[in-house]
Amino acid sequence: MGRVSSLADLPIRDDLRGLKPYGAPELKVAVALNVNENTHPIPENVARSIIEAVAHELLTVNRYPDREFLALRDSLANYLGHGLTRDNVWAANGSNEVLQQILQAFGGPGRSVLGFPPTYSMHSIIAAGTGTEWLAGERDADYVISPATAVDWVKRTEPDLVFLCAPNNPTGTALSLETIEAVYDATGGIVVVDEAYAEFGVEGEETALSLLPGRERLIVTRTMSKAFAFAGARLGYLAADPAISDALRLVRLPYHLSSLTQAAAVAALAHTPEMLAMVDDIKSQRDRIEVTLRELGYTPYPSASNFILFGNVPDSHRLFEQLLERDIIIRDLGIAHHLRVSAGTRAETTTFLEAMRELTAR
Ligand code: PMP
């Protein structure tokens, strides 16, 4: 059946009228550096053991999966360390779904969430989807958020939740633990630290996981999409006080994590060293991008993630299109004179940087 009406004709919720869905273009190009994926495929031996685990699970796929995904929560807690156990861990189909469940439980109509744009676009989109008011704070120079600035915004807006993104997408900016602690102390609400890119940070640097003891309103979200090269499998998770999972059980759909997803993720986590082997290489490609873009006269921002935001682009839309003509896609986020690029494999990164050299006539 063809299309008989447009969205505007449907009796959609008033608060969704006129909104735009998540819109990263899904183009088939040779060099895709636009959605911060891990550009390295998972190692073949790991793929084989995941296939075996999934195949085994298929034999009982007539039954609903473990609703409490206990084996997976054990594996995730073991990976995170910090004295965490399965009771501290929750998971869903991507950290987007984790964030959605958090807003379903703690946000919703009449409630608000404070974020600090430019930040991950889904934070405000999930807020809209759950009927939670999105309050936009502001950052200091170079996209940093100081404790004082963060506390000022919390005091002025009195949100029910605060979303912090560490490191921040799309800017790559790290976030100090002091800012997180200050936000926590300034609010009686839920504080979510989105650590989707944590594994790409400076080695040995503390994550917000170290702040969890004694802070029952703090939630740290993570994903296997980035460092674990598992974006297609859809597995995000959180660490928090066990009471947080009790809240999320009220809003999640029963059996939300398929038995195949659970088996695949457990098998992947059993190969953590191999799965994370590419992280160092990705970091070195990211650093190469930073150095070369600076040489070319752009202004890359310091990044603790697998991508780089760079400014001083005379015409960002044109440069985006010129790269696309060369079968390379990066990200135009609508920040004037800025573009974002994900670190690729060595070869992809070289292709991108060579194109940038050619296109930069200064
Ligand atoms: N948080 C941030 C900051 C992200 O950039 C992304 C993905 N781009 C996500 C969460 C969601 O990742 P996923 O749903 O794949 O876990």
DSSP readout, 264-303? HHHHHHTTHHHHTHHHHHHHHHHHHHHHHHHHTT-EEPP-
Residue 89's pLDDT is: 98
Residue 342 beta carbon below 6 angstroms from any ligand 1 atom: no
Residue 96 beta carbon below 6 angstroms from any ligand 1 atom: yes
Q: Measure the CA–CA gap between 362 and 359, rounded to whole angstroms.
A: 9
The model's pLDDT over 321-343, given as tens digits with 9 standing for 90+, comes to: 999 999 999 999 999 999 999 99
The model's pLDDT over 47-61, given as tens digits with 9 standing for 90+, comes to: 999 999 999 999 999
Handedness of CA 198, 35, 259, 41 (dihedral sign): negative
Residues 6+ apart with CB under 8 A from 338: 309, 310, 311, 313, 316
Residue 192's pLDDT is: 98
- Write out the H or E segment, with its range, that includes residue 244: helix 242-249
Is the domain covering 44-270 a CATH 3.40.640.10 domain? yes
Residue 18 has pLDDT above 90, yes or no: no
Round to the nearest angstrom and report the end-to-end CA distance of the chain: 53
Mean residue pLDDT of the chain comes to: 95
Name the token pair of 195.
């650590």
Cβ neighbours of 93 (radius 10 Å): 16
The model's pLDDT over 190-204, given as tens digits with 9 standing for 90+, comes to: 999 999 999 999 887
Residue to mutate (ligand 1; options 97, 223, 230, 308; most atoms within 8 A of CB): 223
Q: Measure the CA–CA gap between 43 and 38, rounded to whole angstroms.
A: 13
Which atom of ligand 1 is nearest to 165's Cα? 3
pTM of the model: 0.95
Residue 2's pLDDT is: 72
Handedness of CA 264, 34, 22, 301 (dihedral sign): positive
Indicate the burial class of 44 (C-beta count within 10 angstroms; 0-12, 13-18, 19 or more): exposed
Instruction: Give the DSSP letter string of 74-118.
Output: HHHHHHH-TT--GGGEEEESSHHHHHHHHHHHH-STT-EEEE-SS
Residue nearest to atom 6 of ligand 1 (CA): 196
* 25 vs 106, more confident: 106
Q: Measure the CA–CA gap between 236 and 313, rounded to whole angstroms.
A: 34
3-state class of 135 per DSSP? strand
Compute the average pLDDT of residues 82-95. 98
Residue 173 beta carbon below 6 angstroms from any ligand 1 atom: no
Residue to mutate (ligand 1; options 22, 120, 256; most atoms within 8 A of CB): 120
Please say whether the beta carbons of 125 and 99 come within 8 A.
no
Q: Which of 332, 312, 311, 335 lies closest to 321 in space, CA to CA? A: 332
Which atom of ligand 1 is nearest to 168's Cα? 3
Compute the average pLDDT of residues 164-177. 96
How far is the centre of ligand 1, averaged over its atoms, from the C-alpha of 21 (Å)? 15
Please say whether the beta carbons of 80 and 239 come within 8 A.
yes
Residue 300 bridge partners (DSSP): 310
What are the structural domain ranges in the chain?
23-42+276-359, 44-270
Residue 1's pLDDT is: 65
Architecture of the structural domain at 23-42+276-359: Alpha-Beta Complex (3.90)
Percent of the chain beyond pLDDT 70? 99
